[in-house]
Amino acid sequence: MAPRVVLEKSARTAPVHATSLGRIAPDQTIRVSVIVRRRNPLNLHALQGRRISHAEFNEQYAASPADFDQIRAFAKAHDLTVDEAASSLARRTIVLTGTAEAMEKAFAVELNSYEDTRRKRRFHAFTGKISLPEEHAPCIEAVLGLDSRPIATPHFRRRDTGSAQAQQPAAQSFSAVQVAQLYRFPANLNGSGQTIGILELGGGYTQSDLDTYFQSVGLSTPTVTAVGVDGGSNSPGDPNGADGEVELDIQVAGSAAPAANIAVYFAPNSDQGFIDAITTAVHDTTNKPSVLSISWGGPESAWSQSSMTALDNACQSAAALGVTITVASGDSGSSDGTNGTVVDFPASSPHVLACGGTALFANGTSISEEIVWDDQPQGGATGGGFSGTFPVPAWQTSALPSGSSGRGVPDVAGDASPETGYNVVVDGQQQVVGGTSAVAPLYAGLIALVNQQLASQNKPSAGFVNPLFYQNPISFNDITQGNNGDYSAGTGWDACTGLGSPKGDSILTMLTGVNSGSTF
């Protein structure tokens, strides 16, 4: 028997909040995404902010055909089938299907069935580590799909109409159009020629909801395209489920950039679905999103190391290709719903723009007050803190407190409190919804406006904006009041609201200026 080696960082612990149902049926079909190494290492710093074309990326940084041939040989030796149509050198993903029994032998794991006691969803998972034949292991970075546990939650919160805070005269809800105006988004731009990508791990939207909403704010309904990933689809119909997330994301992004097209990538809620959705969007040469909004995530502590590395690598590819990724930082304060101080992932990836939350108060068309979103203990609060996985990136070093050991979250913030939330339409009903989920598509809309302006100047897209943002903190409203649990707001960057909320016109000037290319 050929010697085997353990796949680095593949360790899994037993699922929490789940009941074991015993061994999986041996003849059940399992589908895995094998993430293969790059042909050459991708050094973003060496690119010095230069955007590369898809053709150059495929030539230099995709997987090599020889490595794919290695996986084909592995599959054949273990009675697995390669789904060539679903595989992609650019995405560095080769998809294998086979019986559970064959998968167990191929990857030396024991697959068990579980039921999630909170979501009432069944899934399969393993504990321990994956191992591979020594001859095939060097080219494999991650194997996704042997564990299909739900990995993320949508970061939106509905307004509690009975809360004392909601009844305060100062607290009012807004349309996303009003929020964009309060943040001085450039009124002479509308996102024309741009596509905003939105990632969803459940739920769906209806055309009637979108038409009702956009008519109510005096806008034409944008062109929205649903893209299925790994069998995911636009599946509306559960008003208490993820429909609120999907509708919020589309309605906020479409309000901020009303002439942009929107592509919504629907995937199953697992690390496989999440990562496949990101790589599908980033390498989508049909819809061509220049910005991708993600409002889903989970505590860093819930992810396997190999899955986090694979997802972060996908975000590095996005940065090289000039695709900005905006990510909600979480709605459960500094604990992220755990017993410690934990940040949410993928917001903690150093290659995304992590978006925290505020409570926004207005006097007419101007902001009268803005504080950290913190409705705890009954409600939610903006996620934020310091990564236990990713070190402090160079562009963030000078902004963080001295001695910070990990990447600081969030980078920026915007209106997220449900008490000062967004008026949206979900499953035919008018609702007020908040959460950092609203902030990611808000910034995605702003980036679409910036990219429209850049395109008119024959300049590349904004791409990875974080370094420029940290060099220009004056482009943000500094939030100095409030806390999210263990961290308090203060002058400059903080682990509640990052650099602050956007001054849209100033951000436009910054990102379209003469020396606007980001360096890493």
Could you give the CA distance from residue 512 to residue 493 in angstroms, rounded to a whole number? 23
Could you give the CA distance from residue 6 to residue 137 in angstroms, rounded to a whole number? 8
Which residues face 308 on adjacent strands? none
**pLDDT value of position 78:** 97
Task: Decide if pLDDT at 101 tops 90.
Answer: yes
**pLDDT value of position 170:** 62
**Mean pLDDT along residues 513-520:** 59
Could you give the CA distance from residue 149 to residue 95 in angstroms, rounded to a whole number? 19
CB atoms closer than 10 angstroms to residue 77: 13
Percent of the chain with pLDDT over 90: 90
CATH for the stretch 153-396+408-511: 3.40.50.200
Q: Is residue 17 within 8 Å of 117, Cβ to Cβ?
A: yes
**pLDDT value of position 376:** 82
**pTM (2 d.p.):** 0.97
Task: Decide if pLDDT at 190 tops 80.
Answer: yes
Could you give the CA distance from residue 398 to residue 387 in angstroms, rounded to a whole number? 17
**pLDDT value of position 410:** 98
**pLDDT value of position 167:** 40
**Mean pLDDT along residues 481-506:** 98
Catalytically active residues, by annotation? 245, 249, 437
Could you give the CA distance from residue 217 to residue 220 in angstroms, rounded to a whole number? 9
492, with CB counted inside 10 A (0-12, 13-18, 19+), is middle
Collapsing DSSP to helix, strand or coil, 293 comes out as: strand
Could you give the CA distance from residue 488 to residue 502 in angstroms, rounded to a whole number? 19
Query: Which candidate, 148, 154, 156, places its Cα nearest to that of 116?
Result: 148
Q: What is the pLDDT of residues 311-328, one digit of tens each?
A: 999 999 999 999 999 999
**pLDDT value of position 377:** 79
Q: Name, in order, each residue with C-beta under 8 angstroms of 118's C-beta and a sequence gap of 6 or more.
A: 17
| Cα separation of the two ends of the chain | 46
Could you give the CA distance from residue 456 to residue 389 in angstroms, rounded to a whole number? 39
What tokens does 46 get? Answer: 């060496």
**pLDDT value of position 240:** 80
What tokens does 491 get? Answer: 């002058």
Q: Is residue 466 within 8 Å of 447, Cβ to Cβ?
A: no
Percent of the chain with pLDDT over 70: 97
| Beta strand spans in 240-352 (E) | 261-266, 291-294, 296-299, 324-328, 344-345
User: Chain-wide mean pLDDT for the chain?
Assistant: 95
Candidate from 168-172, 344-348, 492-496 with smallest mean pLDDT: 168-172
Task: Decide if pLDDT at 117 tops 60.
Answer: yes
Q: Please, which pLDDT band fits residue 171 given cuts at 50, 70 and 90?
A: confident
**Domain boundaries for CATH 3.40.50.200 within the chain:** 153-396+408-511
Q: What is the pLDDT of residues 352-411, one digit of tens each?
A: 999 999 999 999 999 999 999 999 877 899 999 999 999 999 999 999 999 998 999 999
Q: What is the pLDDT of residues 439-492, one digit of tens each?
A: 999 999 999 999 999 999 999 999 999 999 999 999 999 999 999 999 999 999
**pLDDT value of position 164:** 45
**pLDDT value of position 311:** 98
Backbone angles phi, psi at 313, to 5 degrees: -65, -35
Query: Which candidate, 335, 352, 232, places its Cα nearest to that of 291?
Result: 352
**Mean pLDDT along residues 283-292:** 98
Task: Decide if pLDDT at 98 tops 90.
Answer: yes
Q: Please, which pLDDT band fits residue 286 given cuts at 50, 70 and 90?
A: very high
Q: Is residue 324 within 8 Å of 412, Cβ to Cβ?
A: no
**pLDDT value of position 307:** 96
